[in-house]
Structure 1
Amino acid sequence: MRKFILLSFAFTLLFSCSKDDEVIPKEGENPTDKVTLNNKVNNFVWKAMNSWYNWQEDVPNLADSKDDNTNDYYTYLNSFSTPNSLFESLKHADDDFSWFIEDYVAQQQQFQGTSKTFGFRPQLVQVGTTDYVVMYVQHVSKGSPADLEGFKRGDIINAINGTVMTLSNYKSVFNGYFEETSEFSFTEKDGQTFKEKKTITQAVVSDNPVHLTKIFDNVNGKKVGYLLYNGFRSSYNDELNAAFGELKYAGVQELVLDLRINGGGSVQTSAYLASMIHEEAGKDKFAELKFNNKHPKQDSPYYFSNTLNVYGVDGRKTSEETINRLSGISKLYVLTSDKTASASEMIINGLRPFIEVKLIGTKTVGKNEGSITLYDSPTTDYTFHDGKGVNTSHKMAMQPIVFQIYNKLGQNDYGDGFEPNILIEEWKHWDNILPFGDENEIVLKTALDDIRGLSAKSTYEVKSFGRIDINVSINKFEQEMYIDSHYFNK
């Protein structure tokens, strides 16, 4: 069922505000010499960050004394030409994931997988020792313009809008990936022999993250379940539960969870997924969130559970479902990449105290922290309360890191990412990329071979190629980990 939930309902709680939005002259200040604030949004940026930011105590310009003198405070805020530039100046050196939001409505939609896109994710590689660059298609969203035009995982593209990519021009050529309409040139496996051209136009796509469920009936005498899951989107909780209903009904004895292109999402959905995987955990602690010293009351655990919340198209809870929980899963295989982040890593970290978690693929991102959306809403301490108190003169907001996440044992030490138990680099096999769920697809095959008791090895010779890293994210917010209203309403 196609649905999306707006995050305007994600933080429906009312906080007491420690400081008012209007800064009044302090004792000893001369009102006639009052400095005028050029941009009131800058005041929102500073105050919200001062209240919620994870590293507030470690950033000198976020000190509580910063606004003690109104004139000095306004002079400081006026030194920044835009709210975004002020926000960036307040970020801690260890912060790789906080960002400023120009339009929070678009952000709310993208959190749930709704965005304007071609609908395919590419990876760029250098062709051997030549100067040529190609990109292979990693993933295609169902119902997207790329899907409707026949793009397939494993397709090889060497030109955009008629220009062949090389080491010297690929960055500028690749800009076509972000244009409204572009032409893509497909090649044979050699990356050079022309096959065909396809022109597609970006469209709004709602991408169901529960992409593929499959059951392998006889892998060393065992039934193995496989799930390709691409995002912890709370509006698809029931679809995720239905997928585990299939796995449970089939009686799977091993589980392969493919999180290679899953950058995270809802913390609560991560706890639901953990509950689906490991019934024996009962209602034990899965994870715990810890905020800064100004919000200790928000520190709280997440538990394994037997029920989940179902949401309607308006973003509100409509019902509950009994969770389809697998029993007898003592080892979880997780397929990973450098796109596996936040709520995906939370699954790995949270389940490790209970069962063996074996990682196959490449190193994960290393995001052991999460955020909430902060709005220009001082009466609710800059959180969103059904729109009440929000400054409607603009749509700017912020998505700063505000909490750290730990497992049952208090472990949080994966800031540099999780190393795989078995290293398999998909991009090195760019000229033989098989569909997700294919038993011979290189990363999945490695997991199945491990279940068979076979050592990992390549199915064919790996030639000399160079990976090219470039920002090809379909969704700006795809590596986010956020909190649902359920957390604050407990």
Structure 2
Amino acid sequence: MIKKPFLYLCLTGLLLSLTSCFDDNDDVVSKADPSDINNFIWRGLNHYYLYKSSVPNLANNAFATSEDYLRFLASENNPKDFFNKLLSQSEDRFSFITDDYISLEKAFQGVSKSNGMAFGLVRINNTNDIFGYVRYVMPNSDAEAKQVKRGMIFNRVNNTKLSVNNYENLLNNEQYSIGLATLIDDNLEDIATEIPLNKQELTENPIHITKIIEKENQKIGYLLYNSFTSSFDSELNAVFSNFKAANIDNLIIDLRYNGGGSIETCSDLASMITGQFNEELFITQVYNENFPEESRKFNNKINTGASINSLGLTRVYILTTQSSASASELLISALLPYIDVVQIGEATRGKFQGSITVYDSPRFTKVNVNPNHTYAMQPLILKAVNANGFTDYIDGITPNIEVEEDYFNLKPLGDENQELFLQTAINHIIGNASTRLHFTYQNKFEELYENKSNSPIFQRMYK
């Protein structure tokens, strides 16, 4: 298959999709009439949208006359509202539109404004109270400079207690301080420590940790991989070169905090894990009635043309949480017909569609794009179906071994002697599965939000 680097797929909308949580950019000034933008929106959705047949106003014969169509375009002055009215409300959770495609394009390359603190927010059940927990810290960030560490708990931002009503406003600011907390006798207690944090433009390398662990005559490769970012494919391939040179026996891929990304990168990673299925079916991409189905194959080259470093494994361990979405889920689904996938952790998010970025141009690409505005769409345009016909996993993919994050006892990522998820995988590999630790929090806490929720590629899968 010819690779198309301009296409992006998020397992929620297989050809490029923007995040529904994407913030408005007030600095972007549109010179276009709203009806002109609405015309672009209708044309693009009529052409690409996966659920076109479910939306009567997207039908080819939806309007009897050109005057009826023009009145429809003029019925809404806000292009984002016009876009949302053309979506299938029962089938689509992930399509979105942005008025700033420049920021979107940066996000696809791993560039965003961040203080470097990757965190989750958790609601204490039956209350409006929220606390945050630090998942990891990006290198060369303000959070690293301020000595923020994995496992820190915070319940205040700018001296205001976090609640379900204020967390988005407090955490979307460029600058804020977090107030630390601890758990004492099942009660969250304040700690006096306040840490000020500042956001800056950062490029996140998705390869956060890679190492080789030796346990009881087993040589185990470990990769903490936080996004399927195609601009780091060469670095990813180099990791597998090291694994191959070390002749590892087993591989653990940690996708706990990986919300998705490039389908092409996902396909390449699957081929790095295996290698023995070159040119066999990776997934089938199913589109709307305007396009035939398309087969995507396992391959032996990354997008630079370099040969893939394949391990030829017949089993892989994958660590997941509810934050594992789109391309992370695709990796599991696509490998299941071919090798033994031991999934450890929590059920995944449930995003099996993909999207593409649709621009206002004659062919909906960046070529000859309308210079009068920077709107672009990220509609769902396909769904992924594995070689066994498996798809529509709206409730996520269920793990073989259930493990939950212990928010108040998070150990260093990659520490094989302490970190719960990694320990569980290693114990299974060496035959000590009975020593696995399992914490049950579902009756106490509810995962509510994470720092990447406002990214334009949050939990997206793109080609």
Pick the TM interval, shorter chain.
0.7 to 0.9
**CA offsets per residue over residues 149-177 of structure 1, 9 Å max, x none?**
21111111121111234xxx353155322
CA distance in 2, matches of 1:127, 1:224: 37
CA distance in 2, matches of 1:461, 1:397: 43
1:250 match: 246
CA distance in 2, matches of 1:83, 1:337: 35
**CA offsets per residue over residues 276-329 of structure 1, 9 Å max, x none?**
001222332212212212122xx322222222123xxxxxxxxx21211113x2
CA distance in 2, matches of 1:108, 1:97: 18
CA distance in 2, matches of 1:266, 1:463: 32
1:416 is aligned, of 378, 392, 395, to 395
For the Cα contact (< 8 Å) 2:156–2:178, is it kept in 1? yes
CA distance 1:74–1:204, shift in 2 (3 Å): same
Q: Does 1:451 align with 2:429?
A: yes
CA distance 1:55–1:209, shift in 2 (3 Å): same
CA distance 1:129–1:478, shift in 2 (3 Å): closer
CA distance in 2, matches of 1:464, 1:393: 49
Q: Does 1:268 align with 2:264?
A: yes
1:373 match: 357
For the Cα contact (< 8 Å) 2:345–2:401, is it kept in 1? yes
**Which letter does structure 2 place at the counterpart of 1:430?**
Y
**Which letter does structure 1 place at the counterpart of 2:303?**
N
- Once the two structures are TM-superposed, the CA of residue 126 in structure 1 deviates from its matched residue by 5.3
Q: What are the ranges of 5 or more consecutive residues in structure 2 without an aligned counterpart? A: 9-32
TM-score normalised by L of structure 2: 0.87
- Once the two structures are TM-superposed, the CA of residue 54 in structure 1 deviates from its matched residue by 0.5
CA distance in 1, matches of 2:440, 2:290: 53
> Identity rate of aligned residues, in percent?
35
For the Cα contact (< 8 Å) 1:129–1:465, is it kept in 2? no
**Which letter does structure 1 place at the counterpart of 2:193?**
E
1:162 is aligned, of 136, 159, 166, to 159
CA distance in 2, matches of 1:229, 1:38: 41
1:31 match: none
When Rg is computed on C-alpha atoms for both structures, the one with the higher figure is 1
CA distance in 2, matches of 1:458, 1:124: 26
2:131 match: 134
- 3-state secondary structure, aligned to 1:208: coil
For the Cα contact (< 8 Å) 2:230–2:265, is it kept in 1? yes
Return 269-278 or 116-125, whichever deviates more.
116-125
CA distance 1:119–1:411, shift in 2 (3 Å): same
**Which letter does structure 2 place at the counterpart of 1:469?**
E
Matches within 5 A, 1:349-364: 349-364=333-348
CA distance 1:461–1:260, shift in 2 (3 Å): closer
Matches within 5 A, 1:8-157: 10-11=6-7, 39-92=35-88, 93-125=90-122, 133-157=130-154
- Once the two structures are TM-superposed, the CA of residue 463 in structure 1 deviates from its matched residue by 7.5
- Once the two structures are TM-superposed, the CA of residue 48 in structure 1 deviates from its matched residue by 0.9
**Which letter does structure 2 place at the counterpart of 1:433?**
L
**CA offsets per residue over residues 343-391 of structure 1, 9 Å max, x none?**
11111111111101111111111111100111111x21x2x1xx43211
Q: How many residues align?
A: 429
RMSD over equivalenced CA pairs, Å: 2.4
Q: What are the ranges of 5 or more consecutive residues in structure 1 without an aligned counterpart? A: 1-7, 13-36, 311-319, 484-490
**CA offsets per residue over residues 259-290 of structure 1, 9 Å max, x none?**
11111111111111001001222332212212
- 3-state secondary structure, aligned to 1:478: coil
**Which letter does structure 1 place at the counterpart of 2:112?**
S
1:234 is aligned, of 230, 233, 255, to 230
Q: Does 1:471 align with 2:449?
A: yes
**Which letter does structure 2 place at the counterpart of 1:264?**
G
1:431 is aligned, of 408, 412, 435, to 408
CA distance in 2, matches of 1:131, 1:370: 34
Higher relative contact order (CA 8 A, sep 6+): 2
For the Cα contact (< 8 Å) 1:129–1:464, is it kept in 2? no
- 3-state secondary structure, aligned to 2:302: strand
**Which letter does structure 2 place at the counterpart of 1:181?**
Q
1:200 match: 197
TM-score normalised by L of structure 1: 0.82
CA distance in 1, matches of 2:259, 2:140: 21
For the Cα contact (< 8 Å) 1:183–1:199, is it kept in 2? yes
Return 445-454 or 120-129, whichever deviates more.
120-129
2:371 match: 392
- Once the two structures are TM-superposed, the CA of residue 128 in structure 1 deviates from its matched residue by 9.2
CA distance in 1, matches of 2:38, 2:124: 48
Matches within 5 A, 1:323-362: 323-327=308-312, 329-362=313-346
CA distance in 1, matches of 2:7, 2:421: 38
CA distance in 1, matches of 2:142, 2:442: 33
1:285 is aligned, of 274, 281, 289, to 281
CA distance in 2, matches of 1:408, 1:65: 35
- 3-state secondary structure, aligned to 1:335: strand
CA distance in 1, matches of 2:426, 2:147: 29
CA distance 1:248–1:61, shift in 2 (3 Å): same
- 3-state secondary structure, aligned to 1:417: coil
**Which letter does structure 1 place at the counterpart of 2:296?**
Y
CA distance in 2, matches of 1:292, 1:400: 12
2:461 match: 481
For the Cα contact (< 8 Å) 1:422–1:456, is it kept in 2? no
**Which letter does structure 1 place at the counterpart of 2:54?**
D
CA distance 1:342–1:65, shift in 2 (3 Å): same
